[in-house]
Every structure is written in C-alpha cells, then in structure tokens.
Amino acid sequence: MSLLSRHTSLALPALVASLLALGACTAGHPPAPPLPALQKAPDLTTADAAFVQKLNDMNVTQIALAKAAQTHAARSDIATLGATIEKDLTGNQDKLAKLVAPHAITLATKHSPEDQKIIDRMQHLYGAAFDRSYIRYLSRNQTGMKPVIETEIATSKNTDLAKLATDTKTMLAAYTAQLR
C-alpha cells in the first residue's frame, strides 16, 4: 500500500465524521410571526338592536303564518308561497341568530301578544277567507317593515346587518310581487 493511499484511508473517515457532525448543526428556524388579532364582531348600535328585534318578530310571525298557509290556503300559489316564505325566513332567522350571537342580544322565540292574536285568528280561517286575510297581512307587514328596513340599510355601520336587511327587503318585495 502506498503512502498516499494509506494517508487518504486514514483521513477519509475523519473527514466524513466531521462533515456529518457539521451537517447536523443547522441554523435554528426563525420564530413564527405573531398570530393576527381575532376579528372583533362589528358593534351593534341601539338602533341596530331595535331593528334586530323587529326583524326577529316579523320572521317568527311570518314563519308561523306561512306554515298555516300551506294547509289553509285555497289557492295553490299561496300554499306554495307559504312554503317558500317558511324556508326563506327560517334561513333569514338563522343568519340573524349568528349575527347577534357575539352580542348580548337574545332573540325571542315566542310571538308578541298582538302577533299571537293575528296567528290565532288566521289559523281559524280556511279557503278564500284565509287567502284574503293572508294577502292583506303580508301587504300590511311589508308596508310597515319597508321604512324600518330602509332606515337600517341607510344608517347601519354593521355591514353584515345591512346586507341582511337588503336581502330581507328583496325577499319581501318578491313575495308581494308573487301575490299580485
């Protein structure tokens, strides 16, 4: 064995061992950046809270009347509209509940005494009498809610609530158009 190959064979394991040892030493990873702050739910003003309660009352009452329309209406289009209103406003109610969940607002699940009287009276009507009363109620309800909804759309700083108000206004207009 030549001197050069003996020297290479002795130096090679030492070189490999030192390279492996240095390869295990790596620079540490930089620390992770801090997490972004959690998004705070947009504040609700007292006007927003009042609108939420009015919208909730309207939803709960119209859902109850829409259920009655499906079985009490003489016209099939009113019964079909009742099913649509029930589905749409139940979804609307779910969105409203999610929207107010971070705030200290409790949505009523029972009808107001005035609304309960309307529901009780209409549940005793059938056929054409129910149809007339239901159409009249929906027209009056939209007429009463329209300025409330428009005010909320114009003044609310909560974009989610304003969008919900816009969607509700569109739904109510579509229901009224279907009844004509």
Spell out the residues 6+ positions from residue 67 whose beta carbon is closer than 8 angstroms to its own: 82, 86
Say what the pTM is.
Answer: 0.75
Give per-residue pLDDT as tens, 20-69.
766 666 666 778 888 777 666 677 889 999 999 999 999 999 999 999 99
The predicted structure's pLDDT at residue 2: 61
Task: Evaluate if residue 128 carries a pLDDT over 90.
Answer: yes
pLDDT above 70 as % of the chain = 86
Please report, for the domain that includes residue 136, its CATH number.
1.20.1260.10
32 inside domain: no
Rg of the chain taking only CA atoms, in angstroms? 33
Q: For residue 164, what pLDDT band results from cuts at 50, 70 and 90? A: very high
16 inside domain: no
Separation CA 148–CA 166 (nearest Å): 11
98 inside domain: yes
168 inside domain: yes
The answer to whether the CB of 99 falls within 8 A of the CB of 161 is yes
The total of structural domains in the chain comes to 1
Beta bridge partners of 73: 127
Q: Please provide residue 73's backbone torsions phi and psi, each rounded to the nearest 5 degrees.
A: -75, 145
39 inside domain: no
Q: Which domain holds residue 87?
A: 46-106+114-179
18 inside domain: no
